[in-house]
Chains A and B, each alone.
Chain A
Amino acid sequence: MATAEIPYQETVPLHHPKTWIGKYVFSQDHKVIAVQYGITAMAVGLVALFLSDLMRIQIAFPEFMDWFVEDYYYQSITMHGMIMVIYLLTAFLLGAFGNFTVPLMCGARDMVFPFVNMLSYWVYLLSVIILLLAYIPGLGGPTGAGWTLYPPQTITEGTPGADWGITTMLASLAVFIVAFTMGGLNYITTILQARTRGMSLMRLPLTVWGIFVATFLGLLAFPALFVSAIMMILDLKIGTSFFMPAIVSLGQTLAYDGGQPLLFQHLFWFFGHPEVYIVALPAFGVVSDLISVHARKNIFGYRLMVWALVFIGILSFIVWAHHMFVAGMHPYFGFFFATTTLIIAVPTAIKVYNWILTLWKANIKLTVPMLYALSFVLTFIMGGITGLFLGNVIIDIPLSDTYFVVAHFHMVMGVSPILAIFGGIYHWYPKLTGRMLNDTLGKWHFWITFLGTYIIYFPMHYLGFIGVPRRYYENFDSSFYPASAQLLNEVITYTALVVGVAQLLYVINLVHSYFYGKPAGDNPWGANSLEWCTPETPPGHGNWGDRLPTVHRWAYDYNVPGSEKDFIPQTVPQGQTS
């Protein structure tokens, strides 16, 4: 790209807010929107975390909480799953990280459509409010259908929340998708149209690449969830039979006829599998950048990392039915989906190799964000290899619907992206606030969270081998469980409680450091990408002052032979070293 070209955003004036409300509440500044997304997602995530601890207590000590009846348990698994996947992980990785990093890393003043971007947050907040409406007393509570919402049970009387609970859930999902679409169109357009001079696609940091591909996946996958939510509302409210065959529910022969429950499962997983990568790819990107910056070494195999992201993104649309190997679909699908699923392991493994090879012959600073990134890699390897069990159709037969699955997906798309999020927050907090987070608190939180979650989920795979089924309100009265499995269960619960409480350390750190943290300066980590080159820290509205930065190199020039410092920012012209 010729450097003489004037970036689009340098030619349009910014509308600066005139009031406090315009600046901090109904703000069109991508950084403020990122914080709004982040705080809302974390708040609702704490609710889901609390639910998970209630469930763990119930599983290990069924006598302990008499008031925690079946309905509460099934409602909790549903809300925990849905909140974590959609309202925390998706919202945080794209809404918070996407909003914060995309314009800064591309060298843009803001998102291309700031007003739509603002709407995106407020519509997201609305979806969270609708989701939590189900807890209003008298409505029957939220749905207990499991986060997969499989009909017919979702809308029949044998499931808690089969009326208002499921209605608010489906409405909330539909509204969330509207919010996501507004945000997603912004990220893609900004990445394609608003990169500054010299910022070619192959000079973009991998964080932006991860968010870019994930947003594409989201825009293509969420409509499948949207239509299935609408179709289910129609089945529930006006008696259509999209997903409902003739059934006898609790003794009553219902009027439904001729629908197909598997249709919903296909639609759901056509969304649901890409959703895994909507969460994973931004995490991949963030971790790639964290490892490179803190290891003081270029990311190994940048081009292959980009193509692996793209390849994983494409493949993620033809593996969905590996979630349905025991669903009763045509058995020959098993051959196809097992093969595609194991093929996706290859680009994923390449990413892991490249992270680890980045450490080789590096000069590794074990900062707190680096700790999170390293633990992400180890946790992700564990979660990834157990995916090779479940993706291989015949092995899925004995293991599906057991605790092996619970352990697998928590490792791979629960704990891993959360560790990437924690790492990312530590990394960018100084740029966002101008202050460093507290290292001591950070290290305590890190070790408790990383080791704790490993102790929770690694042994849990073995409960799956025994054959302990998931989603059971009471588990341990079966004859084939060894008595020691109950002991393991109790250990898991104790650990889960400790990890749950330890998350407060993080909240305390975020709040405390905002007021009392060490001043950070412009570039505390010695990083190269554009967000560290802003004229002010925290960056003002418009990010760059009068003139957008000019990019001369990729984001990974660390320890380039012959340079005096161990990093060369992207704005430094070729031939110069600082």
Chain B
Amino acid sequence: MRKILDHHVAILLGLVVIGSVIFNVWSPWQFTEIASNWEFIDFTVKVTWWITGVAFVLLGLFMAWAIWRYKYHESGESHYEPEHPVLESWLTIITSIGVVIMLAPGLIAWDDYVQVPSDAMEVEVYGEQWTWKFRFPGEDGILGATTVKKNVDRTFDGTTYEPNITSLNPFGMRDDDPHGDDDILIASNVLHLPLDRNIKVVLRSKDVLHDFWVPEIRAKMDMVPGMITYFWFRPTRTGEFEILCAELCGRGHHIMRGTMYIDTQEDFETWLDAQVTWAEMKAGQKPEEPIVAKGRQIADQNGCFACHSLDGTSVVGPTWKGLWGREITLSDGATVIADEEYIVESIVEPNVKLVEGFGSVMTPYAFEDDEMEALVRFLQETAE
């Protein structure tokens, strides 16, 4: 007992080392089961894990032993030897060899990771605060060009432009690129991909950095506005997987999730056939009265659709679908009819009469009378 107390520092440090090893063996928390071709990543991790693990145990236990063995004695003397070039050289050489053994497989795997196989099928992942959209290239196999702004005109007085990414063109397709017409647009956060096909994931962002990541696939890459990034993988088992955003992208970062299904080829094709192309989406858009079109443009330019959907889904604010003329319950329990008076009030003083279940996050907007009229007409129109 006395001895244990005397040497409690050495014992506790040794226990920390041994405890770490036991925890590692016993831990139920390991890599999530892989679902892609990147087993080589897991292999490289294992190599690194063994080399560093052995080093950790040897160094840690040697330290604990030395603290035990060479604990202070009044009569004790330490060994005076400032340098030992032979020992120092050997340690340097052994460490270098260990580093090479870890680095080599890593670089080989990286070489594989950055070179996309030529038969890979493309899918574009399109990130925005705080959801995902997807695009397939369609029959021609080419993703049509996109742009954030159109009709950009730069003069000494300043730059003018029109927004190209709008509620009528959510993917920002360029109208002068015919490759875009057969592109298949998935305006939801659910993606299906076929099993055992090499897939090149092309990454694009509309606003800030995001990162498309499915832990079971292992691969990830940031999406950077203004440029196109990519990675590739081959799914090796079917199932449902969660898509996460892995790069901080603002206050909704943690809700930026999605679902990726890996299907058999047949199931995948069935699903893909049911999706709309850009040409179909354009054809389905009814021509709008000038005042309604103006209202839509105002809503687009002011970013209304970031919070209010047109398809019935609730995002940050209530959807506009079916809103007009409906009786709605407010947060204080009162009810009100969503007529022109209420809509205008909610734009000018948005936090006075909150719809039940929504927070007071909207900033007040002021519009000219004709703009407000157009906006109200647009809301009235979209409700149907």
- Which A positions have Cβ atoms within 8 angstroms of B? 70-71, 74, 144-146, 150, 152-153, 156, 158-160, 245-253, 255, 257-262, 295-298, 300-304, 326-328, 331-332, 334-335, 338-339, 342-343, 345-346, 349-350, 352-354, 356-357, 359-366, 371, 374-375, 377-378, 381-382, 385-386, 388-389, 392-395, 397-398, 400-402, 447, 451, 454, 458-459, 462-463, 465-467, 469, 471-475, 478-480, 482, 484-485, 488, 556, 558-561, 566
Contacts and interface: CB of A to CB of B under 8 A. Distances in A.
Contacts of A559: 77-80
A438 to B, nearest CB: 18
B156 interface: no
Given A394-B110, A485-B29, A328 B227 contact: yes
A329 B218 CA distance: 19
20 contacts: A150-B248, A153-B207, A246-B226, A253-B149, A253-B164, A301-B82, A327-B222, A346-B99, A352-B59, A363-B76, A389-B49, A392-B44, A392-B48, A392-B106, A395-B48, A465-B29, A467-B244, A484-B29, A558-B80, A559-B77
9 A-B pairs closest in CB distance:
A245-B226, A251-B303, A467-B215, A158-B250, A331-B114, A361-B79, A153-B208, A253-B163, A385-B52
B133 to A, nearest CB: 13
A474 B244 CA distance: 12
B12 to A, nearest CB: 8
Given A250-B306, A297-B79, A326 B211 contact: yes
Nearest to A331: B114
Interface of B: 9, 12-13, 16-17, 20, 23, 27-32, 38, 40-41, 44-45, 48-49, 51-53, 55-56, 59-60, 62-63, 66-67, 70-73, 76-84, 87-88, 91-92, 95-96, 99, 102-103, 106-107, 109-111, 113-114, 128-130, 147-149, 152, 159, 161, 163-165, 172, 203, 206-209, 211, 213, 215-216, 218-227, 229, 240-242, 244-254, 257, 300-307
A295 B78 contact: yes
A301 B92 CA distance: 13
A410 to B, nearest CB: 16
A302 B88 CA distance: 11
Contact of A363 (B77, B107, B222, B250): B77
A352 B84 CA distance: 15
A360 B17 CA distance: 18
Nearest to A561: B80
Q: Is the interface of B mostly helix, strand, loop or mixed?
A: mixed
A45 to B, nearest CB: 23
Contact of A465 (B30, B77, B114): B30
B208 A152 contact: yes
B52 A255 contact: no
Nearest to B241: A480
Contacts of B29: 459, 462-463, 465-466, 482, 484-485, 488
Contacts of B99: 342-343, 345-346, 388
B9 A566 contact: no
Nearest to A146: B248
B78 A400 contact: no
Contacts of A158: 129-130, 207-208, 249-252
Given A252-B302, A295-B78, A392-B106, 4 more contacts: A158-B207, A248-B206, A251-B304, A480-B215
A248 B72 contact: no
Interface centre among B20, B59, B251, B254, by most chain A C-beta atoms within 10 angstroms, is B251
A301 B80 contact: no
Given A153-B208, A561-B80, A381 B59 contact: yes
A393 B72 contact: no
Contact of B208 (A247, A469, A479): A247
B237 to A, nearest CB: 13
Given A346-B95, A454-B16, A253 B72 contact: no
A397 B106 contact: no
A401 B219 CA distance: 12
Contacts of B13: 374-375, 378
B109 A400 contact: no
Given A296-B78, A327-B224, A328-B223, A359 B148 contact: no
A482 B28 contact: yes
A462 B30 contact: yes
A343 B32 CA distance: 30
A469 B220 CA distance: 12
Interface centre among B20, B72, B221, B223, by most chain A C-beta atoms within 10 angstroms, is B72
B59 A248 contact: no
Given A156-B208, A251-B305, A469 B213 contact: yes
A479 B242 contact: yes
Contact of B226 (A259, A465, A485): A259
A190 B195 CA distance: 66
A302 B83 CA distance: 7
A360 B79 CA distance: 8
A335 B99 CA distance: 14
A397 B220 contact: yes
Contact of B66 (A259, A262, A343, A362): A362
A339 B107 CA distance: 9
Contacts of B31: 398, 465-466
A88 B3 CA distance: 40
Contacts of B79: 297, 360-362, 559
A359 B70 contact: yes
Contacts of B254: 70, 471-475
Contacts of A561: 80
A303 B227 CA distance: 48
B45 A389 contact: yes
